[in-house]
Amino acid sequence: MKGRVEVIIGAQWGDEGKGRVVDALGSRVDVFARYQGGANAGHTVIVEGKKYVFHLLPSGMLYPCRVCVIGNGVVIDPEQLLNELRELQEQGKDRARLVISGAAHVVMPYHKKLDTAQENQRGKGRKIGTTGRGIGPAYVDKYSRCGVRVEDLLDGDSLRDKLEYNLDEKNLFLSKIYGEEPLPFDEVFDQAVEWGKALAPYVGDASLIIDEAIQEGRGVLFEGAQGTLLDVDHGTYPYVTSSSPVAAGGCVGLGVGPAAVDRVIGVVKAYCTRVGEGPFPTEDEGESGNRLREKGAEYGATTGRPRRCGWLDLVALRYAVRVNGMSSIALTKLDVLTDFERIPVCTGYEIDGKAEEHFPSGVHRQWKAKPVYEYLEGWKEDLSGCAEFDRLPLQARKYVEYIETACGVPVNLIGVGPGRDQTILRNF
């Protein structure tokens, strides 16, 4: 018997509400698996009125007796991860079993220093908007084949060998190019050894554990961070993250073949937001954008930075449907659009005076893209108490159906508030 495997991906620029969607589906999932990214992402879950923010832990950690996996595709900041675990333990919420892939790479102190120094050196107009959490430099080392993996933290000889090489190189960059103080070897080594001791009880073969769960007929949920338009290959490069948040990244980041995946669920905010630099065709820098930000509490879970806000972009969404093979949409924050008299929806672009119905691949054309809007009638009614689709106001239902028609994908989940119980499931 084969278990059901579903992939949760962000279909926009991240911050779509993936954590709350994972949590809403959690009662039917046995294994939650995070497959890429690092502590530069934040998943927010609200249960019984209490907010939990996970940066590295899978959102399923709040479900007792489940298995939560951090895959080889994630870059792990041990200090952040241990802090998250400690906070859950102090609240009596550490009731899931955590497994960390020994093949996952580690964000070291020199990665963070390099991240900040490189971003500062880019200067005005060239900044990417990195969080400074060391994610990019950690992935650089991974692909340069000199990265420190979790399994190295458990082996003093391997750790020493890698750190001696890495620190010689990184300290040269820090001191000679960026004018920063070099990092002392003993300090970094001793800290890494302590991380290894603390993480050792959780280290395992993530790929094998997931495969066994699938073969046993258990439900498995792959959980991505960031969003499709931040993918290093398919996003608004170079204003992207350093990994692959798209659905295919789930297979690579967890060691599972693509034939195992049954369904790809794209999480879509009812409007659009973006953190950091980069093109954003439907951004609204006026009063309506500010109104969306305040009503939607659009401030970064990781950095607290205010998010840029704008309207739903169907050109970008259709692109996300295509590159992810999306079979289902989870629409979040529909309630935030309440009280807008008319709601703009971008149905196409104009680039250099010509109509464009497809998302452009080059960032130079993305910067030039001007949205072509259709305007849908808004609604005044409060959505927060709606438990069924038919109980939504007529215009809210039409908004959902408009998205389904435009994308050719059913909207099977609708968020009408931040709480776990404020979720409408349709034919799920």
**Mean of the pLDDT values across residues 209-228?**
95
Q: Are residues 323 and 292 in the same domain?
A: yes
pLDDT band at residue 394, thresholds of 50, 70 and 90? very high
- Could you tell me which of 220, 217, 198 has the C-alpha nearest to residue 207? 220
User: Would you say residue 47 has pLDDT above 80?
Assistant: no
Considering 15, 23, 77, 231, which one is annotated as catalytic?
A: 15
How many structural domains does the chain have? 3
Structure confidence at residue 127 (pLDDT):
67
- The enclosing domain of 300 has a CATH number of 3.90.170.10
pLDDT tens-digit series, residues 321-338: 999 999 999 999 999 999
* Contact criterion met (CB below 8 Å) for 263 and 6: yes
The DSSP element (H or E) to which 221 belongs, if any, is: strand 220-223
Output the average pLDDT for the chain: 93
Q: Are residues 320 and 375 in the same domain?
A: yes
Structure confidence at residue 71 (pLDDT):
97
The Cα-based distances of 270 to 8, 78, 220 in angstroms read 17, 34, 26
Convert 402-413 to b/e letters by CB count within 10 Å (16 or more is b).
bbeebbebebbb
Q: Are residues 322 and 408 in the same domain?
A: yes
Q: Are residues 164 and 178 in the same domain?
A: yes
Q: How far is it, in rounded angstroms, from Cα 166 to Cα 155?
A: 16
In the residue annotation, 262 being an active-site residue is answered as no
- The enclosing domain of 123 has a CATH number of 1.10.300.10
Structure confidence at residue 125 (pLDDT):
62
Q: Are residues 128 and 31 in the same domain?
A: no
Q: Are residues 260 and 289 in the same domain?
A: no
pLDDT tens-digit series, residues 347-368: 999 999 999 999 999 999 999 9
Q: Are residues 281 and 223 in the same domain?
A: no
Q: Which of 199, 225, 245 is the last residue of a domain?
A: 199
pLDDT tens-digit series, residues 102-150: 999 999 999 999 988 888 877 666 666 677 789 999 999 999 999 999 9
Q: Who's near 32: CB < 8 A, 6+ residues apart? A: 22, 26, 58, 59, 60, 61, 63, 66, 67, 68, 69, 96, 221, 223
Write the burial class of residue 151 (CB in 10 Å: 0-12 exposed, 13-18 middle, 19+ buried).
middle
Q: Which of 181, 199, 217 is the last residue of a domain?
A: 199
Considering 23, 30, 43, 115, which one is annotated as catalytic?
A: 43
Q: Are residues 150 and 97 in the same domain?
A: no
pLDDT band at residue 94, thresholds of 50, 70 and 90? confident
pLDDT band at residue 84, thresholds of 50, 70 and 90? very high
pLDDT tens-digit series, residues 168-178: 999 999 899 88
User: Would you say residue 154 has pLDDT above 70?
Assistant: yes
Q: Are residues 192 and 149 in the same domain?
A: yes
User: Would you say residue 40 has pLDDT above 90?
Assistant: no
In the residue annotation, 30 being an active-site residue is answered as no
> 62 versus 340: which is more confidently predicted?
340
Q: Are residues 353 and 335 in the same domain?
A: yes
Q: Which of 176, 199, 222 is the last residue of a domain?
A: 199
Q: Are residues 74 and 170 in the same domain?
A: no
- The enclosing domain of 250 has a CATH number of 3.40.440.10
- Domain extent, residue 209, equals 5-101+203-264
Q: Are residues 56 and 19 in the same domain?
A: yes
